Structure 1
Amino acid sequence: MKFWLRLAVLSTCIAGAWAQPTAPDATKPETKSKPVASALNASLFYQVLLGELNVREGSQGAGFSILLDAARKTRDPALFQRAVDIALQARSGEAALQAAQSWKRELPQATEPNRFILQILLALNRADEAGQALAVSLNDLPAAEHIGAIASVPRLFAPLQDKQRAADVVEKALAKFVGQASTAATAWTTIGRMRRDAGQEDLAIQAALKAHAANKASAGHIVLGLTLMGSGNAALLAMLEDAMQGPALPDLRLGYARTLITQQLYAKALQQLVTLNQQHPDFLEGWLIRGLLLQDMGQTPEALQHLSHYVQLNAKNTEPENQAGQAEALMALSQMAQNQGQLEQAQKWLAQMPPSADPIKLASRQADLLAQQGRMNEARLVLSQIKTNTPEQAKRKTLAQSQWMREHRQSSHAYPLLKDALKASPDDADLASELALVTDKLQRYDEMESLLRQVMKIRPQDPQAYNALGYSLADRNVRLAEARTLIEKAVALAPKDPYIQDSLGWVAFRQGQLEEAQKVLKAAYKAKPDAEIAAHLGEVLWVMGKTQEAGTVWREGLLLKADNETLLETLKRLNFKP
């Protein structure tokens, strides 16, 4: 019962005891009421009122002391909690802890004070004591509540500043539970999450493996394992493969497939998505991700089939998340139809776009379609008429306009647009990066380099600026040693990025290292079939005398993007007619 409600009941009882007796109403039948037992006498009742008056008048310290004394005398949980609340409102953590600990001493069987003690110790950043309080709190809970409580521990301990210390005390507190069959998997998963958040990746992986050994059917350690996949740990990867052998939950299998995609393990990801579609044909997102992956892999007919299937299944679903997926699928279908020269079909896909579709993405897709029809002025108009409501949307509109102009040989129009945007936001790395690409097209190389150096300072861990400058130097066949250093820095930051691998292969070609260039570019093209990578790989093969193989690669590149500027320039320069 809440404190004020209890106080009202008690007040009624005391007031009734002091009131003068009245004659019974003869018109009503006589009823016997059961008296309400109370630990409050008149003296304690006025003590509580006095404490509350002190709090109301701003004397929280005095009010706290009076109410805590009343709580100890009555052993009333509501009064103890009121004392804790007053101390917390006064931002006195020590006083709140004192009240909660007193509550626990007076009522040792009560579980509610455990929660307050733990949360207060965490707020005070007292890790060791918080660990002890956690152990007490878990031991006092019924067995049925252990799993839920253990799973919530990482969130509770998140405020602690020393993450490794937090992980240590939690593992110590859970020592009992990692040895019990019913809680072992959850306990090890919680320990793994704490170790991961503390940057102790190896210990986190060990915990995930122990959780899997304790209960393969548990989902928590699989989610943990997915977040650790980037480590490349063989035992962890084997654990995840083992977990996916059976009928895994669709969200988990999809999460595994997504993680494989981020690591460019496309074939393995596709296997998981095929299994997901077979086991859960009504799980719509599986069809969407499978179709988008097939598109990215250059398997256009299969991508069209699966994305069309998704659009059909999802047509009447009005949930915002599903509408976003619908828009993404329709844009992909439109792009593939455009690449195949089916411009009317591409427009039909866009005509089905839901009202909630991103207006900037939609306008960019429409502009690309108009450009392929030679309607350049209309395309630019579509982009310029995008309505924006926030500064972020305005920036995205500017970037979309510039990217379209840059890709359609109108960089001179993009240049003033970006310069004006950068005047308003001089430290915006996205705008600076885009302007660098534009200045490269305009052969304003000194300005391009200055912009990219600026981006490197703003985002020292972003590989794209290093890659862009390194590639530009290599493409111009100047300062090749420096170009390679910059690209290798980008590779270190993003070792599996196929576009950065393309740059590495290209600088190797410029340095005359043809075997290395061929090997790197073939791997990049396999990971990401792309017209620009095809242009570079084809040229390396051509120079090596493998002209037939070069022609095959170039023709594939034209199918991927027939208007790619780099590919067309390469074919013209080498006088190759596809």
Structure 2
Amino acid sequence: MASHFNAVLIGLCLGLLAQSGSGASAATFEVEDLEPSNPDLVGDAAALPNLNESLDDAAKTRLADALLRFGRTDFIGAEAAARALTESHPQAPEGWYTLGLALANLGRPDEAILALDEASLRYKKNAEPLILKGDILFQLRRADEAATAWSAATEVDPANFRAHERLAALAEGKGDREGALDLYLSSMQGDVNRSYPRIQAARLALLLGRPSQAEGLLADAAKADDADDQVLDYLARAKIGLDKIGEARSLFTRLTKRGTHARAFTSLAKIEIANGRLQEAHDILARGEAAFPGNPLILQDQGALLGAEGNYAQAMAKFEAALAIAPNEPKLLKSAGLAALRLGQKDKAVSFARNLVALPRATADDYLWLGSLLENTGARDEAAAIYRTVLETSPDNFVALNNLAIVLSDTSPDEALKLAQRAAELAPTIAAVRDTLGWAQFKAGQIDAAAATFEALHAADPKAALAAYRLGVVRLEQGKADEGRALLHEALALDPGFSYAEEAKLRLN
């Protein structure tokens, strides 16, 4: 017997296919691409020491020699020259710092850290040895010690943006967006002309749902003709979040004219779709495809728009073209699977879903999608195994509980009832879950309990064909033939093509 909740799940997903190109809400900005997968904590080069005027001529000569050798990547020579300086002038921090740099580049991190500690003891305001020490520790996967070094660097020189930005990236990597945002704002105080921390702070403000703060961070920077692409993109998203659609359209249009930012075309198209201008959206995406041939993001949105218009074959062609370039893109695999389902290509939809769950970052929802498709194609045992896999890591996932209960209702009615009861406890207001509970009660022989469940469902939604059908089946089982047949007729009258229409007719005959 087909799963009612499975049908609901698939129906919802098909609705999402229609909406995915429609910009369902003009005041919703996209954030999926704003989350860094791996924050780069040591992307910029270490700062070299200056020739300190307090050094005597011999020390300056040795330091200059060490720095020249370092600049030529002669790290062995740089080490020798720097070590000579530490021996002749042990109180000069420049020698220890340069020695630490050379040793780090020679792959001797423990020695480098010792030299950098010596430099830190001697410097009064220079935080660079501590920053480099933190970088080395982070590369050694000693993140907590790295954070301690970077924090010490901010105390030595509060204006040093490099320390703040490393701590910000580390905080975000641990899921602390609030802390990361504060650190980027602190970094801006060290150098107000740097765009990087401003852009990162705006990105985090968007992720935290604060478009007004993002707007405040970027509005002035966007006035420049050569404003960074990300400044215009993030500001436009903030404008959407503030329902300033006209301003967002202008910013995205600026980006499309540059021809340097593929997402600008898809974002602008979504604004037009949200306002019902579908042909304008097609034209914008066509311009984007011409500017960025084969770009999977543009192909995906073209497919989504075609799918929303019911052109599933053309949509599938776009999705498959995008997958040829980006075969492991989850959103593409899901969209292609939905289009295949609309085209009646169930096996193809299952294939896309299998590829989806094979990805390293597959989610519980991805597994549920595969399970629902397998169930829909009759592979009930494999579907049950998928649902059990979800429950191993998410024991309170009510969809997995519900769907597994349906699959087991014929073969293991007692287990199915326990699963359905737990799903109903977790999602008591969802009619499909209550329906599963009632059916599990019926299959487990608890006829009166099933009657009460379906009576409540039918009373809550008297126009629902399924509730009338289920209650009719229960009434027949209770020996109330006239009432049962009347309810089956009622179900067919409410929806002649509902999912159990043929069974209703068989029971009536």
Alignment of 1:372-383 (within 5 A): 372-383=308-319
Aligned pair in 2 of structure 1 residues 509, 373: CA closer, same or farther (>3 Å)? same
The match for 1:126 is none
What pairs up with 1:183-194 in 2 under 5 angstroms?
184-194=126-136
CA root-mean-square deviation = 5.6
Query: Is the contact made by 1:188 and 1:211 (CA closer than 8 Å) also made in structure 2?
Result: yes
User: Does the C-alpha gap of structure 1 residues 139 and 357 become closer, same or farther in structure 2, counting only changes over 3 Å?
Assistant: farther
CA–CA distance in structure 2, aligned partners of residues 268 and 141 of structure 1? 54
Q: Of the candidates 324, 336, 341, which is equivalent to residue 276 of structure 2? A: 341
State the Cα deviation string for residues 101-151 of structure 1 (Å, max 9, x = none): xxxxxx9x98599989x978xxxxxxxxxxx98972774899998799589
Specify the alignment match of 1:156 in structure 2: 105
**What is the aligned partner in structure 1 of residue 255 from structure 2?**
310
Cα 1:348/1:269, change in 2 over 3 Å: same
Q: 1:521-548 CA distances to partner (integer Å, 9 max, x unpaired)?
A: xxxxxxxxxxxxxxxxxxxxxx9xxxxx
Q: Output the CA distance in 2 between the equivalents of 1:357 and 1:151.
A: 48
By relative contact order (CA 8 Å, sep 6+), the higher-ranking structure is: 2
1:406 aligns with 2:338: yes
- Partner AA of 2:284 in structure 1: W
Determine the C-alpha separation between the residues in 2 that align with 1:474 and 1:194.
47
Query: Is contact 1:188–1:208 with CA below 8 Å preserved after alignment?
Result: yes
Say yes or no: does 1:416 pair with 2:365: no
Residue 356 (str. 1) matches residue 292 (str. 2): yes
In the alignment, what sits opposite 1:367? Answer: 303
Cα distance between partner residues in 1 of 2:387 and 2:85: 54
The C-alpha deviation readout for 1:437-470, integer Å capped at 9, x for no partner, is: 144256457534534766999xxxxxxx859x92
Change (3 A) 1:483 1:214: farther
* Residue 376 of structure 2 is aligned to residue 437 of structure 1: no
Secondary structure at the aligned position of 2:166 is classed as: helix
Q: Decide whether the 8 Å contact of 1:370 with 1:378 is kept in 2.
A: yes
Distance in 2 (CA, whole Å) between partners of 1:237 and 1:480 is: 48
Cα 1:273/1:441, change in 2 over 3 Å: farther
CA shift for structure 1 position 332? 1.4
CA distance in 1, matches of 2:102, 2:427: 55
Structure 1 position 136 matched with structure 2 position 86: no
Question: Where does 1:13-412 land on structure 2 (aligned, <5 Å)?
Answer: 136=83, 139=86, 149=98, 156=105, 166=109, 169-181=111-123, 184-230=126-172, 231=174, 232=176, 238-245=182-189, 247-261=192-206, 268-274=213-219, 276-277=221-222, 282-292=227-237, 294-295=239-240, 300-312=245-257, 314-315=258-259, 323=260, 326-353=261-288, 354-384=290-320, 388=324, 393-394=326-327, 400=332, 402-406=334-338, 410=342, 412=344
TM-score of the two chains, using structure 1 as the length reference:
0.46
SS of the aligned residue for 1:352 comes to: helix
Distance 1:447 1:351, change over 3 A: same
CA, structure 1 residues 377+238, in 2 after alignment: closer, same or farther (shift >3 Å)? Answer: closer
1:355, distance to aligned residue in structure 2 (A): 3.8
- Aligned 8 A contact 1:250 1:280 in 2: no
1:367 is displaced (CA, Å) by 1.8
* Gaps in structure 1 of 5+ consecutive residues: 1-106, 121-131, 161-165, 316-322, 458-464, 486-505, 514-542, 544-578
How far is 1:220 from its partner? 1.9
Once the 2 structures are TM-superposed, how far is the Cα of residue 362 of structure 1 from its aligned partner?
A: 2.4
Tell whether the 8 Å contact from 1:193 to 1:204 is kept in structure 2 after alignment.
yes
Cα offset for 1:293? 5.0
**Local SS of the residue matching 1:374:** coil
- Contact kept? 1:171, 1:191, Cα under 8 Å: yes
CA distance in 1, matches of 2:112, 2:228: 37
For 1:170 and 1:262, the matched residues in 2 are separated by 38
Whether contact under 8 Å (2:184, 2:197) holds in the other structure is no
Quote the offset at 1:287 in angstroms: 0.7
Deviation (angstroms), 1:235: 8.0
Please tell me whether the aligned partners of residues 150 and 190 of structure 1 are also in contact (alpha carbons under 8 angstroms).
no
Does residue 1:447 correspond to 2:382, yes or no? Answer: yes
Distance in 2 of aligned mates of 1:141 and 1:303? 63
CA shift in 2, pair 1:480/1:421, >3 Å: closer
1:279 Cα offset (Å) = 7.9
Instruction: For 1:275 and 1:285, locate their aligned partners in 2 and report how far apart those are by CA, in whole Å.
Output: 14
- The one-character-per-residue Cα deviations of 1:485-521 (angstroms, maximum 9, x if unpaired) are 9xxxxxxxxxxxxxxxxxxxx99861579xxxxxxxx
Say if 2:239 and 2:245, in contact at 8 Å, map to a contact too.
yes
Q: Which amino acid aligns with 1:403?
A: S
**Residue type at the aligned position of 1:379:** A
CA shift in 2, pair 1:305/1:279, >3 Å: closer
Does 2:427 match 1:510? yes
Task: Give, in angstroms, the shift of residue 210 of structure 1.
Answer: 3.0
How far residue 348 of structure 1 moved from its aligned partner, in angstroms, is: 2.0
- Per-residue CA deviations over 1:352-411 (Å, capped at 9, x if unaligned) read 2144344433222122222233333332344445694xxx74555x97365244268528
Does the 8 Å CA contact 1:254/1:286 hold for their aligned counterparts? yes
Q: Residues of 1 paired with 2:177 and 2:298: CA distance?
A: 41
Of the two, which has the highest radius of gyration? 1
* Cα contact 1:294–1:302 (8 A) shared by 2: yes
Aligned to 2:467: none
Instruction: Give the fraction of aligned pairs with identical amino acids, expressed as a percent.
Output: 14
Q: Which moved more, 1:348-357 or 1:226-235?
A: 226-235
Local SS of the residue matching 2:219? helix
Paired with 2:243 and 2:425, the residues of 1 have a C-alpha distance of 26
Per-residue CA distance 1:524-573 (angstroms, 9 max, x = gap): xxxxxxxxxxxxxxxxxxx9xxxxxxxxxxxxxxxxxxxxxxxxxxxxxx
> What is the CA–CA distance in structure 2 between the aligned matches of 1:198 and 1:238, rounded to whole Å?
26
- 1:343 CA displacement: 0.3
CA 1:366–1:252 in structure 2 vs 1: closer, same or farther (change >3 Å)?
same
1:175 CA displacement: 2.8
Q: Structure 1 residues 283, 366: closer, same or farther in 2, change over 3 A?
A: closer
Match of 1:56 in 2: none
Give the partner amino acid of 1:472.
Answer: V
| TM-score normalised by the chain length of structure 2 | 0.51
Residue 406 of structure 1 aligns with an amino acid whose one-letter code is: L
Q: CA deviation at 1:224?
A: 1.0
Q: Does the residue aligned with 2:267 lie in a helix, a strand or coil?
A: helix
Conserved 8 A contact 1:287-1:310: yes
SS of the residue aligned with 1:244? helix
CA distance in 1, matches of 2:142, 2:420: 35
The answer as to whether partners of 2:131 and 2:153 remain within 8 angstroms in 1 is yes
> Could you give the per-residue CA deviations for residues 309-349 of structure 1, whole angstroms, max 9, x where no partner exists?
3334x24xxxxxxx3xx211101111232232210110121
3-state SS, counterpart of residue 345 of structure 2: helix
Q: 1:414 to 1:307 in 2, by over 3 A?
A: farther
